[in-house]
Amino acid sequence: MYALYYSPGTASLLVHWLLIEMDIEHELRLVDMDARAHKSAEYLAMNPNGVVPTLIVDGQPRYEAAALAMYLADRHPDAGLAPALDDPQRALYDQWMFNLASTLQSPLRLWWYPWDLQADDDAVRAGAQARIEDACARLDAQLGAHGPYLLGERLSAADFYLTMLMRWTRKMPKPAHEWPHLGEFARRMKARPGFATLYQREGLSEWA
Ligand SMILES: N[C@@H](CCC(=O)N[C@@H](CS)C(=O)NCC(=O)O)C(=O)O
């Protein structure tokens, strides 16, 4: 049994959505970020970075959303959301997971938390925006040429990850869904019944 420490709409959304999609039994533990529960000694003992998500796996706290997504998809292969290690598409899948983490999630973190760098917030946001838009343009081209998913016809955990990151751009000057192929991709992902379940459980309404 897994237990997910989560906060609505944050990086925990990827893990929560996958738990729903893969029909894996789990318990949800809300982290009250307004009360800074993620900075409490109790939480930091599980996740010293003081961020969500944390997933309890076999009694141990584990963190990093992308790593958790890969772990769950590998551990529950019947769901078919990760090519096996000897599958020809595995290298492509690993590529996209790490590419999304480094070229999209990383600047998105700076957009939402510019003070992380302790520099001029507007300048940090401008730099982050440029990197995010460059990444979106490349992803849009990829989906246009080799879609409809990141692995072509095959849906994988990477697509859920991309959808979550696209959601985070919704208030940016140019949201990711405004690129045509990314927009079509998001519509397809949002039409999944699991997305409605996720929104209902997390009490979300924006970007529905
Ligand atoms: N690399 C981490 C980043 C997680 C992260 O940045 N979570 C944000 C919410 S989306 C958070 O907890 N922010 C609170 C803080 O930084 O104080 C992951 O992917 O799990």
52 lines ligand 1 (CB under 6 A): yes
Best residue for ligand 1 mutational test, from 31, 51, 97, 167 (most atoms within 8 Å of Cβ): 51
Task: From 60, 87, 75, 66, select the one nearest 22 (Cα to Cα).
Answer: 75
Helix axes 157-168, 180-190, angle to 10 degrees: 110
Could you tell me the distance, in angstroms and rounded to a whole number, from the CA of residue 153 to the centre of ligand 1?
A: 31
10 lines ligand 1 (CB under 6 A): yes
pLDDT band per the 50, 70, 90 thresholds, residue 1: confident
Q: Could you tell me which CATH number the domain at 90-192 has?
A: 1.20.1050.10
167 lines ligand 1 (CB under 6 A): no
Atom of ligand 1 nearest to the CA of 52: 12
Sign of CA dihedral 66, 69, 75, 81: negative
Domain 2-80+195-202 has CATH 3.40.30.10: yes
pLDDT the model gives residue 61: 98
pLDDT digits (tens, 9 = 90+) for 91-133: 999 999 999 999 999 999 999 999 999 999 999 999 999 999 9
Spell out the domain ranges in the chain. Answer: 2-80+195-202, 90-192
124 lines ligand 1 (CB under 6 A): no
Q: What is the mean pLDDT of the chain?
A: 97
| Paired sense of beta strands 60-63 and 26-30, if any | unpaired
In the structure encoding, which two tokens stand for residue 114, read together? 């510019």
In the structure encoding, which two tokens stand for residue 126, read together? 């401008």
